[in-house]
Amino acid sequence: MSAFLNATDAAATTAVDPACAAPLPVLGRDVTVPLVTGGEVTYAALDYAASAPALQRVWDDVAAYAPYYGSVHRGAGYLSQLSTDLFEQSRVTVAEFLDCRPGDQVVFTRSTTDSLNLLAAVLPAGCQVFVFETEHHASLLPWTDAQVSYLNAPRTPDEAVATLERALADREPYGPALVCVTGASNVTGELWPVKELAAAAHAHGARIVLDAAQLAPHHPVSVRDLDVDWVAFSGHKLYAPFGSGVLAGRADWLQEAEPYLAGGGASRKVTRRVGGEDAGGVDVEWHTTAARHEAGSPNVIGVYSIASACRALEEAGFENLVARERHLIAKVREGLAEVPAVRVLSLFGDDAPRVGVISFVVDGWNSSHFAAALSAEYGIGVRDGLFCAHPLVRTLLGSEPQAQGECGAPEAAPGERSLNAIRVSFGAGTPDEHVERFVRAVKELVADGAKWQYHTEDGRCVPTS
């Protein structure tokens, strides 16, 4: 049983030159893709902000466990008990990865979106929610049953804190309140002042949840040090396959609310009512542990993959991972700065600390067309559009849409002009060659244009056959 509960021993990490550090092995690192101009090339996956490739280490851990797969929590057999131990030990691993406080609960969900919708479902009556318009839709949209204040996009970290303080100070009535904020923008990659925002929230009697979907894969996240009440993230952005996520933090609101989903696993005891007006119904005693919001058969493989990824990142050493990522960020930003037609999008300015997520537009190009050419002619996968952060991207782009080209943005209706950007994102598994190829491709496309013809098909810009 311990073979699956304990990660493979990793070599001790030491300080390294980020320019020489090797990327962590990921699945798909040797996959080749065809080019429309002929031949094949190793695929450059530069869309980590959407889904990071799974670490090879995670895949190997899951493969080792797979023959022992069994039901969780309610089975008497050996494989069921092993799987239950694996599942619950994964909960401990995630709590340690997040540096949770005593008494905090780790609830396993399907994704960051699911985690934040779960938190929205357990808000106490009359709770007010404060969220910046700059958030990803996963943290912008779940609060439909609460009184929501959408805060304008700040242009500096200090302005973000001041904006929140004013909004909290002015709230009426003075009841329960929740602040939702990202740790790192999925559009600009910029780091937000989470610790300062948490202090502001608590000073005004509010709680705070951290959307760490883009932060946790790149930087250590300490619930204790940041002093956030909850943190949410997704496995598929943390180099883990399958559909699992995490909501970790204070237990009280979770314990006091009705279960997010009603069903087996969430209930401790169910009895039929006898006698009286309610005869024939059922009485339910719900769990007060994390199981209260984990009804149904849990995704044990997805949960184990998250725990494996947590261990792998910690053993690799975040200091080394951050140093190497800064090296890659510098390569990309310096390369793009050499192309006058490129405008990098930013809220907080060029000097703001950030993770490996960079969005930009190119003068004279529709972003969908540019992204399609990167893929078809260079084997580079990036993202184009509004990145599930429509208000933020529209704020950053201003009111002037891109000129209508042969290829329109997926979000543009037929005949509309396009308003979209290009996003390149990378992380622990990205080799230098991928970002170097990307910078070279941007320069060549801007200087020489695309080598192929493209058209819009089913809302996407694709090469013309």
The residues that are catalytic are 388
Taking the C-alpha atoms of residue 192 and residue 201, their distance in angstroms, rounded to an integer, is 14
Q: Which of the 8 DSSP states describes residue 191?
A: B
Instruction: Please answer whether residues 31 and 43 qualify as being in contact, where contact means their C-beta atoms are separated by less than 8 angstroms.
Output: yes
Neighbours of 27 (CB within 10 A): 16
Per-residue DSSP letters for 207-265? Answer: EEEEE-TTTTTTS---HHHHT-SEEEEEGGGTT--SS-EEEEE-SHHHHHSPPSS-STT
DSSP 8-class letter at 402: B
- Count the neighbouring beta carbons within 10 Å of the beta carbon of residue 105: 22
Burial state string for 369-391 with b = 16 or more CB within 10 A and e = fewer than 16: bbbbbbbbbbbbbbbbbbbbbbb
Residue type, 69: Y
- Residue 323 phi, psi dihedral angles, 5° rounding: -60, -45
Query: Is residue 202 within 8 Å of 305, Cβ to Cβ?
Result: no
Which residues partner with 270 through β-bridges? 284
Query: Angle at the Cα of 107 (from 102 to 110), degrees rounded to 5?
Result: 155
